[in-house]
Amino acid sequence: MPAAAQALLRTLVDAGVDVCFTNPGTSEMHFVAALDAEPRMRAVLTLFEGVATGAADGYARMSGRPAATLLHLGCGLGNGLANLHNARKARVPLLNIVGDHAAGHAQYDTPLQSDIETVARNVSGWLRRSASSASLCGDALEALAAARSAPGQVATLILPADVSWGEAAEAADARRPSAPAPAPAPAVSEDLVREVARALGAGRRAALLLGGRALREPLLRLAARIAARTGARLLGEVFPARMQRGAGLPVVERLAYLPELAAVQLAELDELVLLDAREPVSFFAYPGKAARLLPPGCRVRALAEAPCDLHEALERLVRQLDAGSAPPLLQAAARPPRPRGALNARKVCQALGHLLPEDAIVVDEAQTSGVMLPAFTAGAPAHDLLALTGGAIGQGLPLALGAAVACPGRPVIALVGDGAAMYTPQALWSMAREGARVIAVVFNNRAYSILELELQRVGAGRARGRARAQFDLARPELDFVRLAEGMGVSARRAATAPEFLAALEHALAHPGPHLIEAVVPRAYAGLKLRLLPRLLAALDRLPPGMARAVKRGVAP
Amino acid sequence: MPAAAQALLRTLVDAGVDVCFTNPGTSEMHFVAALDAEPRMRAVLTLFEGVATGAADGYARMSGRPAATLLHLGCGLGNGLANLHNARKARVPLLNIVGDHAAGHAQYDTPLQSDIETVARNVSGWLRRSASSASLCGDALEALAAARSAPGQVATLILPADVSWGEAAEAADARRPSAPAPAPAPAVSEDLVREVARALGAGRRAALLLGGRALREPLLRLAARIAARTGARLLGEVFPARMQRGAGLPVVERLAYLPELAAVQLAELDELVLLDAREPVSFFAYPGKAARLLPPGCRVRALAEAPCDLHEALERLVRQLDAGSAPPLLQAAARPPRPRGALNARKVCQALGHLLPEDAIVVDEAQTSGVMLPAFTAGAPAHDLLALTGGAIGQGLPLALGAAVACPGRPVIALVGDGAAMYTPQALWSMAREGARVIAVVFNNRAYSILELELQRVGAGRARGRARAQFDLARPELDFVRLAEGMGVSARRAATAPEFLAALEHALAHPGPHLIEAVVPRAYAGLKLRLLPRLLAALDRLPPGMARAVKRGVAP
């Protein structure tokens, strides 16, 4: 009879989980040993658990399928927690396998003993400690069914060492009746579809706010037909898990992170219909400012919230509105010219728009440096955009690793702030090990630049020396080229636009991981928040393209 | 009236907390702004929360006083969780300040919203969400009293942004009656002291197992007098939070990590008296092996468990045994000679023993590479040893940072495995920023070497290609010199013993952070566990020093 760990691996692979992002320890050794007996399982070693969990998230966003993680007890899970939080907010399917001590060992309260369940509960829609080797494979199938239940969630299976090393009768068969199937998504009521159709057809100023699955085909195009037919605007949530955009795809105006700008985007609405999205609120609370961003009197209706069948509801809505033949507003192909001169964050985004290859995957964790990214890549060839769903920075590089494992034929470009890159730099090593086709662009502005902005926003006054030092990453300067090379990733530094273009062209021409350190000034260094209202008031006097860009959350 | 965050900082500093290890975000901006108004608070910025929590642990171990951490919501706390686990097991005083959204903001379930309490509960002996600006300073004093209650614990204060930006009447006064004092440690019963005295005086084969505070002066010397008077052996716990050792200090035989070796150390005991320690068990459970390591029939008595007053109990025990004038067995000064030839882990430890300066702080997270460290540094000048209390690796570099902040005049030498170093490499940047007097020695054996050993131990068979790849850190090779330089720390690589000696001499002569990459073969590459019994049987035929070294957990 095989060891239970072997049966578990066979069960997972038979059920379609054939990638596992790992950082194992002693209690996971039987799982590791079983890799020799199950060559269909690809185990991607990471040096830090946050890389494993973020990569599993990126894998799921791009493949639609869950990867497993292999984590070492409560502390390994803790290290992976921030990116599991992001994955939870992205509502992706993901299976954590968390090793634990053998059942009888807990009583001794040895050093690594901790309460795994309590930590896991935070991020897991499904959680179980496997009670026996005999039930392990069934537990795994239940976990997978839960992970895959619409729209997707994190499932955590705690695997005690003795369950792992015990004997299983056989691997569970994912096709047998005993293997639970994910529950079908419930239908949206006909009344609600009719109500939304009436609201959109009433001639009021309306918008559809797209989130989750609605930002991807085929739902995206259905929404665009409805918009074309009714005159409603198409808005996108601030931080999408995965958004399809670019030339030939419907034009969606993503909401800005800055509440002042998002409020401008939403100012004239009477009706907002949510498609797998939530009512827009500010990311943080600020003293004396409302969190809700919609104008008073704007009516909000959710057409379908998870886990409802949004696709089918949208098809009904299209029929009711007779929008099936309405031509959606599609993005025209357009690229900005090559940037010149000294480098700044805007020119990095411009260079990216100039060179972005077909079918790229763009991971955006660029914070303040990425504000011009949407505008400059809008007309680039069709691509996927993956954003920071849960606000826990340190996601960009792991997400890119996972996306590259899911889509080995597609170029992945990760735009990451210097601060963000330093939470999970270990992802670079796994990229090199896997030959992942990732180009990591690190904006080195030598600051937690977004915090300089936030300090103004929370009304905490003007930071002087000691407070200001908390945003300062210049003492000492981080050298991302050395960091990347130290982990086996080829790297270049760019301080001018031509250098950046050359480095990006080189990286695109040579598949495999690359890092480009873009040395840039702080994007908001000159921005005075108190000037924002005046700026917004001046929008109508700006050239239309620039005004649109600002309204989309692209700061000046 | 001052903002509550300002009053909080003043309260903390007045109460003796004047160091804060930070990684702030928007919800912590008022705390950050308040740094300008409270120059007595030293804020040490870290790039990753696990560095902040590990550094606060190291600071507390060496200063005996709590540092604060400043963490950003549940995800920041999550990133710091593994080293908080280690701190909890080390039983140090530590105060986490975890920012959160303003109270009214939770309802919107914005991206960073998560259940902070659930995550915090795991590691916190005291936990509270501050309810108002008016109560904040009182909450902080209660948190500090809890953190300082014997023997020390982690206290976590959740600080909602609106509590932070609200107005406080004044800073709380730590000297006022309303400020709670830590509860005094209860006395050990006279019956128990008498019972232990009788047991030790009965002529049976006895040992004192020292842990926690018992491994430091003045308790250490009291225990040594008792040992000298009664003939009991002095044993030390496997992973001490802080152990004082070296020339002129009592000789304590630390228990080995490998259960087979620890069992040899414990084999002939009839009596084991625990001094702030716990009964020895194996770190992990292994199939078919007992977790308890004591021989059957060995009687175990705990003289004092936390929070009892062990010092006073030991003084009574000394009086009862008339051991006050018994001369403790003190370690003679002795250094190994300079190592020669190609480098290996043993020679690194030997070089360290040869050069260890007076009053050093040694942080041991060297895993398999550090097995010879106790033997080679036993007779070096008196030093402190800080070990991996909770088994969650990634502690060594942060701990060294915190120890250096606590003791700026003392050299800190951190011995870290390559795998361990990669969990929290960001600590190097904070060392450079603070000019910390840390020498980080990274053993680069290009493997999770301890897992190769553990795989054998759990009986999971012999790893072949795919399983073995999970221990392999050679594809690609990590270049720790580049990694260190990328974070502003000067670094050298050593592949021979003379190179290592030269690098260590250079680092010792130039205070400030250094990294030395010691390129070494795997310590256990040739060790066959099945040969261990034969080896142990041969112990009596080994030279006595070597046999003693093996029994102390120093593998061949």
**B498 preceded by cis ω (within 30°)?**
no
Answer yes or no: are the C-beta atoms of B122 and B156 closer than 8 Å. Answer: no
> Is residue B166 scored above 50 in pLDDT?
yes
What's B82's DSSP letter? H
Residue B237's closest chain A neighbor by CA? A111
The predicted-structure confidence for A50-76, as pLDDT tens digits, reads as follows 999 999 999 999 999 999 999 999 999
pLDDT number for residue A304: 77
Cβ distance A111 to B89 less than 8 Å, yes or no, reads yes
**Residue B29 with chain A: CB contacts under 8 Å:** 451, 454-455, 458, 460
Nearest Cβ partner for A463 among B33, B45, B110: B33
pLDDT at B548: 59
Q: Which of the four pLDDT bands, split at 50, 70 and 90, describes residue B364?
A: very high
Peptide bond into B476 cis (omega under 30): yes
Mean predicted lDDT score pLDDT of chain A:
91
CB within 8 Å: A478 and B457 = no
Residues of A in contact with B162 (CB under 8 A): 285, 287
> Topology of B4-165 in CATH?
Rossmann fold (3.40.50)
Which residues does chain A have within 8 Å of residue B26's beta carbon, measured at their own beta carbons? 283-284, 451, 454, 457-458
User: Are residues B122 and A281, on separate chains, in Cβ contact within 8 Å?
Assistant: no
Amino acid A465: pLDDT: 87
Q: How does pLDDT run across B204-236, given as a tens digit for each residue?
A: 999 999 999 999 999 999 999 999 999 999 999
Taking CA atoms, what residue in B is nearest to A161? B285
pTM (2 decimals)? Answer: 0.95
With CA atoms as reference, report the closest residue to A232 among A255, A209, A212, A263. A209
Tens digit of pLDDT for each residue in B347-361?
999 999 999 999 999
- Residue-by-residue DSSP string for B503-531: HHHHHHHS-S-EEEEEE---TTTT--GGG
**Interchain pair A78, B75: CB under 8 A:** no
Q: Does residue A503 surpass a pLDDT of 90?
A: yes
Give how far B412 is from chain A: nearest CA, Å. 20
- Write out chain B residues lying below 8 Å of A165, CB-based: 287, 458-460
Cα B56 to its chain centre, rounded Å, is 11
For strand A243-245 and strand A383-387, is the pairing parallel, antiparallel, or unpaired?
antiparallel
Distance between CA atoms of residues B305 and B275, nearest Å: 7
pLDDT tens digit sequence for A220-232: 999 999 999 999 9
What pLDDT sits at residue B172?
73
Regarding an ipTM greater than 0.90, the answer is yes
For A288, the closest chain B residue by CA position comes to B162
For residue A455, give the nearest of B33, B470, B477 by CB distance. B33
> Is residue A445 scored above 90 in pLDDT?
yes
Taking CB atoms and an 8 Å limit, are B486 and A488 in contact across chains?
no
CA gap A316, A336 in Å, rounded: 39
Does B85 sit within 8 Å of A75, measured CB to CB? yes
pLDDT over 60 at B553, yes or no: no
| Cross-chain Cβ contact B486/A487 below 8 Å | no
Mutation choice for B interface testing from A69, A71, A83, A114 by most B CBs within 10 A: A114
Tell me the chain A residues in contact with residue B24 when contact means C-beta distances shorter than 8 Å. 451, 470
**What is the 3-state secondary structure of A260-288?**
HHHHHHHCCCCEEEEECCCCCECCCCCCC
Beta-carbon separation of A82 and B105 below 8 A: no
Among partner residues B32, B119, B278, which is closest to A122 by beta-carbon distance? B119
Per CB-CB distance under 8 Å, the chain A contacts of B421 are none
User: CB distance A466–B24 less than 8 Å?
Assistant: no
pLDDT higher than 50, residue B555: no
Q: Do A486 and B483 touch (CB under 8 A)?
A: yes
**Are the beta carbons of A79 and B467 separated by less than 8 Å?**
no
Q: Which of A78, A102, A426 sits opposite B422 (nearest CB)?
A: A426
**Beta strand pairing call for A361-365 and A383-387:** parallel
Chain A residue whose CA is closest to B105: A285
Nearest to B426 among A422, A429, A477 (CB): A422
Average pLDDT over residues A179-192: 83
Q: What pLDDT does A555 receive?
A: 37
| Integer Cα distance of B162 and A147 in angstroms | 36
- Asked if the Cβ–Cβ distance from A33 to B109 is below 8 Å, we say no
* Amino acid found at A336: P
Query: What number is the average pLDDT over the span B310-326?
Result: 95
Q: Do A463 and B45 touch (CB under 8 A)?
A: no
Q: Cite the DSSP H helix spans in B300-385.
A: 310-320, 345-355, 373-377
pLDDT-based confidence at A509, cuts 50/70/90? Answer: very high
Asked if A433's CB is within 8 angstroms of B475's CB, the reply is: yes
Rg (CA), chain A: 24
Closest-approach residue (CA) in chain A for B470: A45
Contacting residues of B for A449, CB less than 8 Å apart: none
For the record, the structure tokens of A497 come out as 């636009």
Chain A residues near residue B368 by CB distance under 8 angstroms:
none
pLDDT for the residue numbered A332: 96
Q: Kindly tell me the sign of the dihedral angle through the C-alpha atoms of A523, A526, A530, A534.
A: negative
Mutate to test the interface with B, among A27, A44, A487 (most CBs of B within 10 A): A487
pLDDT at B556 over 50: no
Cβ-based contacts of A71 with chain B (< 8 Å): none
Contact A22 B470 (CB under 8 A): yes
Give me the pLDDT at residue B308, please.
85
DSSP string, A417-441: EHHHHTTSTTHHHHHHHHT--EEEE
How confident is the model at residue B238, as a pLDDT?
95
Q: Cβ B391–A89 below 8 Å, yes or no?
A: no
Q: CA-to-CA distance for B506 and B242, rounded, in angstroms?
A: 27
CATH topology of domain A190-320: Rossmann fold (3.40.50)
CB contact under 8 A, A467 and B36: yes
Q: With contacts defined as CB-CB under 8 Å, which chain B residues touch A48?
A: 394, 422-423
Residue with tokens 């260190």: B484
Cβ of A467 and B433 within 8 Å?
A: no
Distance (Å) from the alpha carbon of B430 to chain A's nearest alpha carbon: 9
Tell me, which fold does domain B345-525 have in CATH?
A: Rossmann fold (3.40.50)
Distance to chain A for B513, nearest Cα, Å = 12
Asked if the domains at A190-320 and A345-525 fall in one CATH topology, the answer is yes
Mean pLDDT over each residue of chain B, to the nearest integer: 92
A152 Cβ contact partners less than 8 Å away, ≥ 6 residues apart:
A60, A66, A91, A92, A93, A94
Q: At what angle do helices B310-320 and B219-230 cross, to 10 degrees?
A: 30
Domain edges within chain B: 4-165, 190-320, 345-525
- Distance (Å) from the C-alpha of residue B543 to the closest C-alpha of chain A? 33
Which of B203, B192, B95, B98 shows the shortest CA–CA distance to B144?
A: B95
Nearest CA in chain A to B72: A392
Residue whose C-alpha is closest to residue A417's, from A438, A386, A394, A400: A394
CB spacing of B239 vs A284 below 8 angstroms: no
Query: Rounded mean pLDDT of B189-201?
Result: 95
Cβ distance of A47 and B481 shorter than 8 Å: no
Contact B451 A29 (CB under 8 A): yes
Residue with tokens 């260094």: A525
Torsion over CA of A462, A466, A467 and A469, rounded to 10 degrees?
Answer: 110
Contacts of B481 in chain A (CB under 8 A): 486
Tell me whether residues B121 and A122 touch, CB distance under 8 A. Answer: no
CA B395 to chain A, closest CA, distance in angstroms equals 12
Q: Which residues of B touch A483 (CB under 8 A)?
A: 482-483, 486-487
| A-B contacts at Cβ under 8 angstroms | 301
| Partner-chain contact B43 A239, CB within 8 Å | no
Q: Would you state the pLDDT for residue A527?
A: 57
Per-residue model confidence (pLDDT) at position B316: 97
Q: How confident is the model at residue A542 (pLDDT cuts 50, 70, 90)?
A: low
- pLDDT band of residue B304 (cuts 50, 70, 90) is confident
Beta carbons of B284 and A27 less than 8 Å apart: yes
Tokens of A21: 């992002």
Question: Of the segments A541-555, B140-154, B280-294, which one has the largest average pLDDT value?
Answer: B140-154
